[in-house]
Amino acid sequence: MTPIENTNLSMASSRAKTKVKLYWNTTRYLTEVQVLKQPSFVIYGKPTVWEHQIITNQEETDYKKDTLNEFKKWFTYLKELMLFKICHILFDTDAFANDNQSIIDLLKPEIQSLCSFTIVGDTESDDDVAYILKDLPNSGSLILNGNLSAAFKGVIPPITPQLHIANGEWITYSQFLEFRAAEIIIHRCKLKGMQLNEFLRKWMRMESHRCLQNLSINISIKNDLQEICNLSHKVVQQETPQFVELSFSREELKAGFEIQRHDGATARLFVTDGGSDNEPILRMIYTCEYYKLHSLKKRN
């Protein structure tokens, strides 16, 4: 039986619920919780995916209240029935703006390590996002696509494999150095060229971001690249497309500068167009594995 069928069966009686809990092997399922205007529970099996969406009458006066109550009821019921493992939470801070913290209080006890979090919303939501991030376990990925002000004071979890920030005006240099993600993508960042230069020097001395594989961060003008790359490097020309396989993505390398860490690891630096507000994007891609792979091919 499918998760939806088992859930419906369990609602027939208390005896049916007990039997479903006893015989239903839920360990092979992962659950995504979507806190949207129409909340959903997405249950991932292999290879099938099931979705239960909360739909209430939008013409009712208490539409939002009814929807939220129905979501909380289903969350509590599925938690008891499935002992579910949440793999991802999609949270729209605009959906139930006045109740965000109560929803977070409901979700947080069930959030385990490696649960990914995506936060969206058009309305400025510094307090709610900071509340979400407070005491958040090490996540699988953290995507902050909500509207954060330059005064945002939230603390990013120390170990986050993927970190994407749509509005990074609030990020200071000291905060940036605390990020421990393998993939860091930041838009609207205010870090200066000299600060990025110092970061690269720290990386080369193995003092910072030792797990970093992919960095994408906006810079103010292309001329900043001269200040940023005012360090020991090798100019790399490129006539044919080259790609490198990273933990989370396959990235194309461009002509630019190669820098080397004290342990021999290398990274490619180059600039691309198309950032937020049409600002240039500085790319830093870990290339050590690329060169290892191609040197092995040449030997064979």
Write the pLDDT tens digit of every residue in 17-37.
898 888 888 888 999 999 999
What is the bridge-based pairing of β-strands 86-92 and 30-35? parallel
Residue 208, token pair as written in the block: 């910072």
User: So what's the pLDDT on residue 298?
Assistant: 42
Distance between CA atoms of 273 and 260, rounded to whole angstroms? 25
Write the pLDDT tens digit of every residue in 171-185.
999 999 999 999 999
CB 126 within 8 A of CB 101: no
First and final C-alpha spacing in the chain = 51
Distance between CA atoms of 5 and 41, rounded to whole angstroms? 14
Residue 239, token pair as written in the block: 């006539």
pLDDT range class, residue 61, cuts 50, 70, 90:
low
3-class secondary-structure state, position 181: coil
Write the pLDDT tens digit of every residue in 147-196.
999 999 999 987 788 999 999 999 999 999 999 999 999 999 999 999 99
Distance between CA atoms of 103 and 122, rounded to whole angstroms? 18
- Whether the ω angle into residue 109 lies within 30 degrees of 0, i.e. cis, is no
Write the pLDDT tens digit of every residue in 127-149.
999 999 988 877 779 999 999 99
- CB-count burial class (<10 Å; 0-12, 13-18, 19+) for 84: buried
- Report, in this order, helix, strand and coil percent for the chain, each rounded to 5: 35, 25, 40
CB 170 within 8 A of CB 151: yes
3-class secondary-structure state, position 265: coil
User: So what's the pLDDT on residue 295?
Assistant: 41
- Whether the pLDDT of residue 293 is over 50: the answer is no
Residue 228, token pair as written in the block: 């940023």
In this structure, which amino acid lies at residue 162?
Q
Question: How far is CA 56 from its chain centroid?
Answer: 30
Angle between helices 14-23 and 63-82 (to 10 degrees): 50
3-class secondary-structure state, position 118: strand
- Whether the pLDDT of residue 296 is over 60: the answer is no
Degrees (nearest 5) of the Cα angle 221, 215, 126? 85
Write the pLDDT tens digit of every residue in 76-121.
999 888 888 899 999 999 999 999 999 999 998 888 877 899 999 9
Write the pLDDT tens digit of every residue in 221-268.
765 777 888 899 999 998 888 888 888 888 999 999 999 999 999 999
User: So what's the pLDDT on residue 4?
Assistant: 83
3-class secondary-structure state, position 156: coil
pTM over 0.85: yes
Distance between CA atoms of 241 and 255, rounded to whole angstroms? 10
Distance between CA atoms of 188 and 217, rounded to whole angstroms? 8
